[in-house]
Amino acid sequence: MTVTVYMDEVGAVWIANVQGDILAEGFFKTEDETEDELRHMGYHRLLTVYPTAHPAAGTGLDPAELSEVFLEVCRERGHGPTAVPQRDDTP
């Protein structure tokens, strides 16, 4: 399966399949965040969640950046949002 990582004009990161269906929202790990911290908060690398996928970089993204994409926590169907600590995106 091929998934494409897109970044829109406001900087939101989206992961979509080849049909264009959005699979998940993502974000890039910042320099001051560690993978362990993010994992403990419930966030996982794109390449961990979709290990057999072939990631492709959408317009404006460097393919080398794809290893730094983490997925936002997704809703489980019919159970509401999952409660986990949230990243602080304030400047």
pLDDT in tens, 31-61: 899 999 999 999 999 988 888 889 999 987 8
| d(C-alpha 55, C-alpha 57), whole Å | 7
Radius of gyration of the chain (CA): 13
Tens digits of residue pLDDT in 13-25:
999 998 989 989 9
pLDDT at site 10:
87
Question: Can you list the alpha helix ranges (DSSP code H) found in 1-91?
Answer: 35-40, 46-49
| Token pair recorded at residue 79 | 């159970």
pTM, full prediction: 0.72
Question: What token pair was written down for 51?
Answer: 């290990």
Q: Please tell me whether residue 82 adopts helix, strand or coil conformation.
A: coil
For the stretch 65-83, pLDDT in tens is 898 999 986 544 333 343 3
* Sheet of strand 13-17: strand arrangement: 44-45, 69-71, 22-28, 13-17, 2-7, 54-57
